[in-house]
Amino acid sequence: MGLSAVQLRVCLQSYWYMWVTNSITGLLFTGIGIGIAAFFMKKFRKTKAKPHARAPNTTKRSERPFSPTDINTLDNSFGTGTTGTGVIGTYAPRITSADSTNEIGLLDSSEAFAQATFQAINGFRRRYEAQPLELNDQLSEIAQRWAEHMASTGKLEHSPPEWRNLGRQTLGENYAASFQVELTGEKMVRKWMKEGKRYMFGHDGRKDTENFTQLVWRASQEIGVGRARSDDGNWWYGVVIFDPPGNIPNQYAENVHLPAEIK
């Protein structure tokens, strides 16, 4: 038999608190469930890839540097002279004639280093609207002498002005070192180019961007390249001499141009 209406009323009246508690608990769990679901949905939406999203432009166009590490996108039409045979992207030392190889057919390593440095520098210069530089043996002797000097003293520093003036003016000089990893021409040049991230185009140079500004300096015409290794074999030192020298106060605006593709 079922409950009579009166019995039901009595039951509800005596246990009302139970019904209230149950309702509140139910609401509470529903709320928590919705909260958890919302949390995960949000998370999911955030991690979903946005294929067309772009970083917001926070800096002025003229202050935004081109990524100097992007050497692989350099066009490879540049080479020595005007024939355009250089390869920057997939760098391999060019063997141009029999006398640049030794008896066992390998490119002499200092020649390869000079060629790699030369090509990387000119590849970047092209982007910055600077004429390609010529490789000059006399300047390379100066660079080589200083690289050997640093390899013997273990000190990374500029050469004294009298070591690099050809009787005219103190020439520009960039140097780099590498520990337990061979210093290649391309690595050295990239390292210098990274300073370009700090450079404010249209302003005079800063002390910590001098390697970069010298490298792309439009008035420079010739370079010499040298490299030496310390006696213990741990350190490589690389030097590039620039003639005419760059980094002249008040001449940065004419000599250090914005990369062509962001103009």
Ligand X SMILES: *[C@@H]1O[C@H](CO)[C@@H](O)[C@H](O)[C@H]1NC(C)=O
> Does the protein bind ligand X through residue 57 (CB under 6 A)?
yes
Closest CA to 229 of 110, 91, 92: 110
Nearer to ligand X, 79 or 238 (CB): 238
Confirm if 240 and 121 have CB atoms less than 8 A apart. Answer: yes
* 208 forms part of the interface with ligand X (CB under 6 A): yes
Smaller CB distance to ligand X: residue 136 or 213?
Answer: 213
Determine, following the binding rule CB under 6 A, whether residue 210 of this chain makes contact with ligand X.
yes
Q: Does 60 bind ligand X (CB under 6 A)?
A: no
Please report whether residue 207 would count as binding ligand X according to CB under 6 A: yes
> Residue 183: which of 231, 131, 239 has the closest Cα?
239
What is the phi/psi pair of residue 143, to 5°? -65, -45
Which CB sits closer to ligand X, 69 or 77? 69
Residues within window 147-166 making contact with ligand X, judged by CB under 6 A: 156
Convert residues 244-263 into a mask of x (bound to ligand X by CB under 6 A) and - (unbound): --------------------
State yes or no: residue 193 binds ligand X (CB under 6 A): no
Choose between 79 and 178: whose C-beta lies nearer to ligand X: 178
Quick check: 211 binds ligand X (CB under 6 A)?
yes
**Among the listed residues 108, 135, 109, 138, the one whose alpha carbon sits nearest the alpha carbon of residue 120:** 135
DSSP secondary structure, 190-230, as one string: HHHHGGGGG--TTS---GGGHHHHHHT-TT--EEEEEEEE-
What region does 8 belong to: left with phi over 0, alpha with psi -120 to 50, or beta?
alpha
- List residues binding ligand X (CB under 6 A): 57, 61, 156, 174-176, 191-192, 195, 207-208, 210-211
